[in-house]
Amino acid sequence: MTPFRKLLIAGSSVLLLGGCMHHNSTALAAGDVAIDSLTATRTAILRIENNYSSEVRVYTVLSGQRNYVAKAMPGEVRSWVMDPKLFPNPSISFETSAKDGTGSRVLGPYRLDKGETIDIVVPANFNRVHASIHRSGV
Instruction: CATH number of the domain at 119, please.
Output: 2.60.40.2890
pLDDT digits (tens, 9 = 90+) for 37-67: 656 678 899 999 999 999 999 999 999 999 9
Strand partners, 95: 59, 106
SS3 content of the chain, % helix, strand, coil (to 5): 20, 40, 35
Cβ burial 20-55 (10 Å sphere, 16+ → b, else e):
eeeeeeeeeeeeeeebeeeebeebbbbbbbbbbeee
Q: Return the pLDDT at 30.
A: 40
In a domain, 7, yes or no: no
Q: What is the residue range of 71's domain? A: 28-135
Structural domains of the chain, count: 1
In a domain, 12, yes or no: no
In a domain, 85, yes or no: yes
In a domain, 123, yes or no: yes
pLDDT digits (tens, 9 = 90+) for 82-113: 999 999 999 999 999 999 998 899 999 999 99
In a domain, 5, yes or no: no
Residues 105/79, Cβ–Cβ less than 8 Å: no
